[in-house]
Amino acid sequence: MLRSFSWPILQVKKMVDNNSGGEADNFDWDTEDDLEIDNYAISAPSGLSTPCGEAVLGSAEAGSSGNSPNSKIIDHFVGMGFSREMVAKVVEEKGEENSDLILEALLEYSASTLPSSSNSKLIDHFVGMGFSEEMVVKVVQENGEGNTDSILETLLTYSALETTASVQQNPDSGNCSSDYEGSLLNDFSDFDSFSESEEIMSPSSEEGRKLLHLTKMGYSEAEASVVMERCGPDSTIEELTDFICAAQIAKAADALFPLEDKKPFSNGSSHKKRRNWGYDLLLRKKKLKLEKRFDEDDDAVHLPNPMIGFGVPNEPDQITNRVLPEAALGPPYFYYENVALAPKGVWTTISRFLYDVEPEFVDSKFFCAAARKRGYVHNLPIDNRFPLLPFPPRTIHEAFPLTRKWWPSWDTRTKLNCLQTCIASARLTDKIRKALEDSDGEPPLGIQKFVLEQCRKWNLVWVGRNKVAPLEPDEVEMLLGFPRNHTRGGGISRTDRYKSLGNSFQIDTVAYHFSVLKDKFPGGINLLSLFSGIGGAEVALHQLGIPLKNVVAVEIAELNRNILRSWWEQTNQRGTLTDIQDVQELNGDRLEQLIKNFGGFDLVVGGSPCNNLTGSNRYHRDGLEGKDSALFFDFCRILDLVKCIMNGTKSMII
DNA sequence: CGAAAAATGACGATAGTA
DNA sequence: TACTATCGTCATTTTTCG
């Protein structure tokens, strides 16, 4: 509820900053000069072509209709959807000077009265925010009037689509469209081939094919059909995905605006700059693509070799200081993780969405006996890190001494490969055994090559004469740094243990990065753990001896929530663990409540789904737009909400 | 016996490095 | 150019459970 009412706050700010607001539709999408973008953001904030562009105009007009300052103020708030009586009353109580207080009071009153309001009142409310009545009625019907949050979500999406569409179709935008479309071909070329193969299987109507294609890409049918309507029947998949992509970026960014502007009359420059974030990003993305066309992708993220990030224990070449972009500075600290070997461009996008922080790529083979190439984007200090002690075994032989007896000399592996979610079948290991038994002594080179290839692929170890086997679940736990039997019990199957473990952090690696927090939070920390899985972040902090005060863990899988809860109880944690099922539940309201309860999060951690990024996925390696990996944008959304709410809370306290 | 859960086996492409 | 690594998905079979 609060969130839906937060929107108008932005309008007030815009209105106060600049009352003209008429340039929204003429936003220059062809601009490639960052300086110009920044200037634009600072000098003409009302010109942002946000999805609520209409709302801005609407309220500005409403505002200018009044004469005396008093009625003007009242009109402003009425324009946001508050009732005139309520506004008048509040203005009288709080005085017309302090809009902060007025808004606070209005929000409070509305929160208590709206739930009982009628359907038409709800519609009026959203119409008051600047959405067209037609659209609101439709969306309320679709979503049901109970869920104001999803109504707002949908409205924002539709509005974003309209805005981007009108900008794209604006003939005044010069050569923008041709460049833009051309550059997009690169990005969606993999989708292209996908669609061609799909065509054979479902040769229905062209429109149906596109719809199917878009929905397969993970977009809702509503999104897909709206976009197709906007783009016309001749639109290509590239154009369609472009619209949706832009809308999603806009959506992710816009979800943050309201609370960002909780201090309606502050004018910090970074504050204003941030508001342009999603669009700024869109432009940068475009710029990046253009650069790519000229073979100048300086912006492309490249993996370090050796993959030691800013440094690992016992290795030279430590980097102990770096300059973070201003927007990235805490509080809170944040820590995002995903697979390093993602499709091209993914890490560039991730970095840009996380305040342009340079990712730290680290292979966990420097911490344990198994490789794990991961990228981490975080704003933690990087000096005076220390590792967890004792060091875990860092070679296969140290980790599994019993295998030494059976390890053939021609298997030269000293480290295991990445621990994944599936293991080799018994049939494969048996096939290997038979292949080896045919020859006594040294097997032929061909056999050696085959066996070694399979061993690398499936992380097999030698457990007997000519006998290889996959790792046991508890061995995987050990390699990843979890306590033994961490994932055992509670009715979890063997298969699911592998799956949960395969999706987890390597504790020693993460703990090394977290170690800098120990001095800073001697009394313990409040942790927001998104996609928490089996609790890698929690375990790492615990091992470091950093007390966990309040932990909010968001995890979709019940089995994983049970594992974390069980660990929490086993280790006699003093703090409180709140678990939430879905990141989508975590809206502004919920976060505000949580943050109010214990004064803010010190650390926000999350490794969003990698299944659409990893090379192991043969079917849906769709990148960040993939069905599951797109949840990355929820990480951004939530992180930014936390940032905004905490800054807002702080300013109210001070 | 039948449903549900668990285990099994077949299935390449991409992107980086030497 | 050749070589290597990769937090996986799907359909089917087998086992478990009531």
Domains of chain A as residue ranges with CATH: 2-119+129-291 (no CATH), 304-391+510-653 (3.40.50), 396-480 (no CATH)
Catalytic status, residue A610 = yes
In angstroms, the CA A236 to CA A192 distance is 10
Is the predicted pLDDT of residue A445 greater than 50, yes or no? yes
Whole-number pLDDT of residue A88: 73
Is strand C less than 7 A from the beta carbon of A421? yes
Q: Contact at 8 Å (CB) between A552 and A578? A: yes
How far apart, in Å, do the first and last CA atoms of chain A sit?
26
Q: Which of A455, A610, A636, A644 is catalytic?
A: A610
Is the predicted pLDDT of residue A637 greater than 90, yes or no? yes
Tell me the pairing of strands A467-469 and A461-464. antiparallel
Is strand C less than 7 A from the beta carbon of A132? no
Whole-number pLDDT of residue A341: 98
In angstroms, the CA A362 to CA A310 distance is 8
Nucleotide with C1' nearest the A344 CA: B15
Give start and end residues of each alpha helix (H) in A175-266: 176-187, 189-201, 206-216, 221-231, 237-254, 257-260
Is strand C less than 7 A from the beta carbon of A373? yes
pTM for the whole thing? Answer: 0.62
* Ramachandran sector of residue A266 (left: φ over 0; alpha: ψ -120 to 50; beta: rest): beta
Whole-number pLDDT of residue A146: 57
In angstroms, the CA A579 to CA A70 distance is 46
Whole-number pLDDT of residue A157: 58
Helix (H) or strand (E) holding A377: strand A373-378
Whole-number pLDDT of residue A151: 58
Is the predicted pLDDT of residue A525 greater than 80, yes or no? yes
In angstroms, the CA A543 to CA A421 distance is 24
User: What is the average pLDDT across A244-273?
Assistant: 34
Q: Cis omega before residue A393 (within 30°)?
A: no
Per-residue pLDDT band for A99 (boundaries 50, 70, 90) equals low
Mean pLDDT, chain A, as a whole number?
A: 71
Whole-number pLDDT of residue A289: 39
A362-418 residue pLDDT tens: 999 999 999 999 999 999 999 999 999 999 999 999 999 999 999 999 999 999 999
Q: Contact at 8 Å (CB) between A341 and A373? A: yes
- A268 or A357, greater pLDDT: A357
Is strand C less than 7 A from the beta carbon of A374? yes
A618 CA from B14 C1′ (Å)? 10
- Which DSSP string corresponds to A228-251? HHHH-TT--HHHHHHHHHHHHHHH
Whole-number pLDDT of residue A299: 67
Whole-number pLDDT of residue A150: 61
A387 CA from B13 C1′ (Å)? 37
Nucleotide with C1' nearest the A493 CA: B6
A185-235 residue pLDDT tens: 233 333 333 333 333 233 334 454 445 444 444 444 444 444 443 343 444
> What residues approach strand B to within 7 A at the CB?
A 190, 193, 302-303, 305, 341, 343-344, 422, 425-428, 491-496, 615-618, 621
